[in-house]
Amino acid sequence: MSSKISVKGEESFDAVCEAKHPGRPRCPVAHQNILKAARELVEEGGFDCLTIEGIAARAGVGKTTVYRRWPNKASIVMDAFFEEVSSRTSFPDTGSAREDIRLQMRQFVAELNGPLGCKISLLLANGQFDEEMAEAFRARWIEPRRSEAQLVIKRGIERGEIRREVDVDVLVDALYGPVYFRLLGEHAPLTETFADTLVEIVMSGLEG
Amino acid sequence: MSSKISVKGEESFDAVCEAKHPGRPRCPVAHQNILKAARELVEEGGFDCLTIEGIAARAGVGKTTVYRRWPNKASIVMDAFFEEVSSRTSFPDTGSAREDIRLQMRQFVAELNGPLGCKISLLLANGQFDEEMAEAFRARWIEPRRSEAQLVIKRGIERGEIRREVDVDVLVDALYGPVYFRLLGEHAPLTETFADTLVEIVMSGLEG
Amino acid sequence: MSSKISVKGEESFDAVCEAKHPGRPRCPVAHQNILKAARELVEEGGFDCLTIEGIAARAGVGKTTVYRRWPNKASIVMDAFFEEVSSRTSFPDTGSAREDIRLQMRQFVAELNGPLGCKISLLLANGQFDEEMAEAFRARWIEPRRSEAQLVIKRGIERGEIRREVDVDVLVDALYGPVYFRLLGEHAPLTETFADTLVEIVMSGLEG
Amino acid sequence: MSSKISVKGEESFDAVCEAKHPGRPRCPVAHQNILKAARELVEEGGFDCLTIEGIAARAGVGKTTVYRRWPNKASIVMDAFFEEVSSRTSFPDTGSAREDIRLQMRQFVAELNGPLGCKISLLLANGQFDEEMAEAFRARWIEPRRSEAQLVIKRGIERGEIRREVDVDVLVDALYGPVYFRLLGEHAPLTETFADTLVEIVMSGLEG
DNA sequence: GTATAAACGAGACGGTACGTCAGGTCTTTCT
DNA sequence: AGAAAGACCTGACGTACCGTCTCGTTTATAC
């Protein structure tokens, strides 16, 4: 299942692909090749080795084919990185809210320590230069994770494990914010211990 | 007072300027003009309207003059933004650690809501594409603020207001991280209330 | 009556149109629309505003429909400009050869001073870049006029008004060449007086 | 000595080259290389193998260097073809006007039968699509030859060999026009005999 | 009637060249 | 010898058309 996030002035690929249009249908192989090329180029030489011409060349595709489908480099990157990633989220249920949260945070930290980490930081950074990108990143990455966390927290509140008055939104950011901060700032390591300690610090005092 | 952070392959401006060199001394006005031009350009058209050519043109200076003084765009930006900003930090002392922290956080949030906010987020973002930049940003912006916070927290610990076992580094990130996260993510507003609530959530349970 | 000039690898429109083929017959309206579109585009923005895509778009026709009927831009232009023009030639008979020739030349000059003039010069010019075009232009425009002139001259020779030894081909070019030259070179105006003077200069001394 | 014909929005090369400017002077080798590349490309593959990118590549020069010096393809071609050609004109003096003219025409025809021929026809043709080009071509090629011919004719008139009343401008075109016409029209060959016959036809009857 | 055949419009395809912009370097003259 | 100017090569940008190629649809003749 592909993206639901629309990108600037461009019908979604699926919409174009599946609908009964007149005209030659867009080649679905090209779509995959372009995204694959984009991923490879970023992996090989960093974010600014990523040129449209380079992508097109490696994908064995004309530049126009790229431009026909994506309005800018950023949205290619979004699609390239979130093709499969988006869906896999974690929603543990150990019976203890704090434990659930700790597991979630641990997994999140582990994820960011892997190959995904640098991509996420790049995407978050890129969003500062391109509101479109930022929007897409929020919708496809940040929000899904915030929702999960909110669910776990709300479950904790209902069970009476977490105090009723707690502002859930702020709590979520108190948990996730520091992780993103270390990811971007690189002023301190993103360890499992950090996750644990962070949960301890934030959650202590919130329990009913 | 100028930068202490060394930048790639370039003698510091002051060193060159003050020493008794043979040859024409570097024009000190050019230096200021270049930084001013950089600031203006970013303000007017965002970060990617910032070209070396543009800076040189607006500063009424040759491109070579720019390249002679800074090795890359990033370091110009650093100097441009941290000329005066760096020093003004806040170090309140109300007698209550939590209150001191709240004041610090409020001031920090206020600062980021002003014109500085977008610059900081841009710099933090830019660091993801340029390690040099990231290093400078950490040293000139992030660390000074972490140090302040650490001092306040340590004072709180010594006074017995905060539990001895608390990991100060993690605590600092637990306080600052969420702020940076909202600054960058823009998924929720950066209000004074947010600062207060955040301090409440994080600090409750840590007090001795 | 349509073109008899064969064009590269393409059955004539009429042949296809009138024959009893299976399959949908070529739409005759499209044919006219395409030629009309071509004429309009050239008139509006000159010869290099003439793109196949533009023609197709303005004619409300798919590009394939254009390509199916003409092998290249040049032959569209040929058909577009010579649809009606070709046939109207002048063949005066005043009794005097020199007078007939003068009338012919006057009419020719008048024609080239009208809207046709620039088209002819464009077509002649275009022929330098496209042998196909040149061939068609020769056959459809140049030769018919040369033939007329030859007829008038030969009649003059038979009547004893023009000397027997005169090389008719060269004489025809001596009359028409200068007119085309002024049309293309624009170094001097194409007036009726020019036609008269030219005939005077060329014909004097040729009369028996 | 280089061109006096100014070209759209561009200072002449010499002016820029010889003046005492600050800044790096334009590389004179590049100038020659570009023109040479242009000549070669036209010779190899005709006029529409002539792309700016191709010229730049073959000249070992950046596209910008080309665009900095010439405003369009046409003016490159003009410079490329008229670097040396322009000056060599023929001005015979046999004592007989008709003989002088015949020699001039023979030489002209011979010239056009050589490698220059196709270039001239291309340039004349090109002028139909680009007024700038046409202007330059008139000034650099057509007019010099018309002047020569006029001189020879006027000398003939003064010597009493040619009738006083003859319109010199028309006579010149009567001589040259047919040659250009056969060059462009290719409906008949451009032979020495043609030149002779043409002179015979045109000049007979004009002699005093 | 039901194939079969061809033309239709639409529009995607891989390409080439366009003219522009910025990069970072190099080479002048001027101060 | 630094400053300012400006030319140098490189390489990517985003656009316009090229001529070809599917598509799904329409309109004929031929079985």
Amino acid B160: pLDDT: 94
DSSP string, A158-200: HTTSB-TT--HHHHHHHHHHHHHHHHHH-SS---HHHHHHHHH
Q: Which amino acid is at D60?
A: G
- A197 token code pair: 């300690």
Amino acid C57: pLDDT: 96
- A97 token code pair: 């809210």
Residue where the block lists tokens 């970023």: A42
Mean of per-residue pLDDT scores for chain D: 86
A51 or A140: which carries more pLDDT confidence? A51
Q: How confident is the model at residue B17 (pLDDT cuts 50, 70, 90)?
A: very low
Amino acid C68: pLDDT: 95
Q: How far apart are CA B197 and CA C147, in angstroms?
A: 99
pLDDT > 80? residue A70: yes
Mean pLDDT of A151-165: 95
Amino acid D19: pLDDT: 54
Residues of chain A with CATH 1.10.10.60: 13-82
Q: How far apart are CA B165 and CA B159, in angstroms?
A: 14
Q: How confident is the model at residue A113 (pLDDT cuts 50, 70, 90)?
A: very high
The pTM is what? Answer: 0.79
C182 lies within 8 A of chain D by CB:
yes
Amino acid D42: pLDDT: 87
CATH number belonging to domain C13-81: 1.10.10.60
Residue of chain B whose Cα is closest to the Cα of A208: B205
| Partner residue opposite A176 with nearest CB, options B128, B181, B201 | B181
Amino acid C18: pLDDT: 55
> Cβ(B144)–Cβ(B82) under 8 Å?
no
| Partner residue opposite D125 with nearest CB, options C128, C143, C177 | C128
D12-21 contacts, C-beta under 8 A, 24 or more apart: D13/D69
- A6-10, A49-53, A144-148, B27-31: least confident range: A6-10
Q: Angle at CA A67, nearest 5°, toward B184 and A51?
A: 65
Q: DSSP class of residue C56?
A: H
Task: Report pLDDT digits (tens) over D165-178.
Answer: 999 999 999 999 99
Residue where the block lists tokens 């947010």: B194
Residue where the block lists tokens 């009893």: C20
Residue of chain D whose Cα is closest to the Cα of C47: D129
* C184–D138 CB contact, under 8 Å: no
Maximal C-alpha separation, chain B: 65
Q: What is the 3-state secondary structure (H, E, C) of D13-75?
A: HHHHHHCCCCCCCCCHHHHHHHHHHHHHHHHHHCHHHCCHHHHHHHHCCCHHHHHHHCCCHHH
Q: Separation of CA C163 and C1' E12 in angstroms?
A: 67
- A108-117, B109-118, C75-84, D18-27: least confident range: D18-27
Query: Structurally, what CATH architecture does the domain formed by A85-203 represent?
Result: Orthogonal Bundle (1.10)
> Cβ(C33)–Cβ(C56) under 8 Å?
no
Of D residues 67-86, those with CB within 7 angstroms of nucleic strand F are: 68-69
- A62-71, B79-88, C17-26, D187-196: least confident range: B79-88
Maximum mean pLDDT: which of A11-20, D135-144, D154-163? D154-163
Q: How far apart are CA B179 and CA A174, in angstroms?
A: 9
Query: Structurally, what CATH architecture does the domain formed by B13-82 represent?
Result: Orthogonal Bundle (1.10)
Q: How far is CA B34 from CA B37, B57, B66, B80, C16, in A?
A: 5, 9, 7, 8, 72
> Cβ(D110)–Cβ(D119) under 8 Å?
no
CA distance, residue D125 to nearest chain C CA (Å) = 4
DSSP string, chain B: ----S-BTTB--HHHHHHS--SSPPPPHHHHHHHHHHHHHHHHHH-GGG--HHHHHHHHT--HHHHHHH-SSHHHHHHHHHHSSGGG-------S-HHHHHHHHHHHHHHHHHSHHHHHHHHHHHHHTT-HHHHHHHIIIIIHHHHHHHHHHHHHHHHTTSB-TT--HHHHHHHHHHHHHHHHHH-SS---HHHHHHHHHHHHTT-B-
Task: Kindly report the backbone phi and psi dihedral angles of residue D9, in degrees, each rounded to the nearest multiple of 5, phi listed first.
Answer: 55, 30
Percent of residues, chain D, with pLDDT higher than 90: 57
Amino acid A103: pLDDT: 95
> Cβ(A117)–Cβ(A183) under 8 Å?
yes
pLDDT > 70? residue A19: no
Q: How far apart are CA D194 and CA D55, in angstroms?
A: 38
Q: How confident is the model at residue D190 (pLDDT cuts 50, 70, 90)?
A: very high
**B87-203 has CATH 1.10.357.10 classification:** yes
Mean pLDDT of B76-97: 77
Mean of per-residue pLDDT scores for chain A: 86
Q: Which residues contact D55 (CB under 8 A, 6 or more apart)?
A: D34, D37, D38, D41, D66, D76
Q: How far apart are CA B174 and CA B190, in angstroms?
A: 16
Mean pLDDT of D157-169: 96
* CA neighbor of D100 nearest in space, from D158, D142, D143: D158
Query: What is the torsional sign of CA D152, D157, D162, D164?
Result: positive
Of D residues 66-125, those with CB within 7 angstroms of nucleic strand E are: 67, 72-73
Mean of per-residue pLDDT scores for chain B: 83
Q: How far apart are CA B1 and CA B83, in angstroms?
A: 8
| Partner residue opposite D201 with nearest CB, options C46, C124, C166 | C166
Task: Report pLDDT digits (tens) over C21-38.
Answer: 788 889 999 999 999 999
- A151 token code pair: 């669910």
Residues of chain B with CATH 1.10.357.10: 87-203
Q: Which stretches in chain C have pLDDT values below 50? A: 1-11
Q: Name the residue closest to the C1' of F21 by its CA.
A: A24
Mean pLDDT of D7-23: 54
* D201–C174 CB contact, under 8 Å: yes
D25 lies within 8 A of chain C by CB:
no
- C199 token code pair: 């005939």
Amino acid B134: pLDDT: 83
* CA neighbor of A153 nearest in space, from A144, A141, A161: A161
pLDDT > 60? residue A85: yes
- A116-125, A143-152, B87-96, C55-64: least confident range: B87-96
B145 lies within 8 A of chain A by CB:
no
| Residues linked to residue A10 through DSSP beta bridges, in sequence order | A7
Q: How far apart are CA A38 and CA A32, in angstroms?
A: 10
Q: How confident is the model at residue B9 (pLDDT cuts 50, 70, 90)?
A: very low
Q: How far is CA B189 from CA A140, A180, B110, in A?
A: 19, 17, 12
Q: How far apart are CA A106 and CA A197, in angstroms?
A: 11
Residues of chain C with CATH 1.10.10.60: 13-81
Amino acid D94: pLDDT: 92
Q: How confident is the model at residue A8 (pLDDT cuts 50, 70, 90)?
A: very low
* CA neighbor of A156 nearest in space, from A100, A83, A78: A100
Residues in chain B within 8 Å Cβ distance of A47? 128-129
D27 or A83: which carries more pLDDT confidence? D27
- From first CA to last CA, the distance across chain D in angstroms is 41
> Cβ(D13)–Cβ(D71) under 8 Å?
no
B183 lies within 8 A of chain A by CB:
no
pLDDT > 90? residue B99: yes
DSSP string, A1-21: ------BTTB--HHHHHHS--
* CA neighbor of D176 nearest in space, from D191, D195, D157, D162: D195
The conformational region for residue D48 under phi > 0 = left, psi -120 to 50 = alpha, else beta, is alpha
Residues of chain D with CATH 1.10.10.60: 13-80
pLDDT > 60? residue D47: yes
pLDDT > 90? residue A130: no
H/E run at residue C91: none
Amino acid B19: pLDDT: 43
Q: How far apart are CA C108 and CA C113, in angstroms?
A: 9
B121 or B14: which carries more pLDDT confidence? B121
Task: Report pLDDT digits (tens) over B172-187.
Answer: 999 999 999 999 999 9
Q: How far apart are CA A206 and CA B198, in angstroms?
A: 12
| Residues linked to residue C10 through DSSP beta bridges, in sequence order | C7
- Minimum-distance nucleotide, CA of B50 to C1': E22
Amino acid D2: pLDDT: 39
Helices (H), A86-167: 97-113, 115-127, 131-137, 143-158
Q: Which amino acid is at B143?
A: E
pLDDT > 90? residue D199: yes
Q: Angle at CA C53, nearest 5°, toward C52 and C59?
A: 90
Burial label for A145, CB within 10 Å (0-12, 13-18, 19+), is middle
> Cβ(A149)–Cβ(A176) under 8 Å?
yes
Q: DSSP class of residue A207?
A: B
B172 or D45: which carries more pLDDT confidence? B172
Quick count: other Cβ atoms within 10 Å of Cβ A44? 11
> Cβ(D158)–Cβ(D182) under 8 Å?
no
One of 3.90.226.10, 3.20.20.70, 1.10.10.10, 1.10.10.60 is the CATH number of D13-80, namely: 1.10.10.60
Of A residues 72-101, those with CB within 7 angstroms of nucleic strand F are: 72-73
* CA neighbor of B148 nearest in space, from B109, B93, B191: B93
Alpha-carbon Rg for chain B, nearest whole angstrom, is 20
| Partner residue opposite D198 with nearest CB, options C174, C182, C185 | C174
B84 or C124: which carries more pLDDT confidence? C124
Q: Name the residue closest to the C1' of F29 by its CA.
A: C22
Amino acid D4: pLDDT: 36
pLDDT > 50? residue A5: no
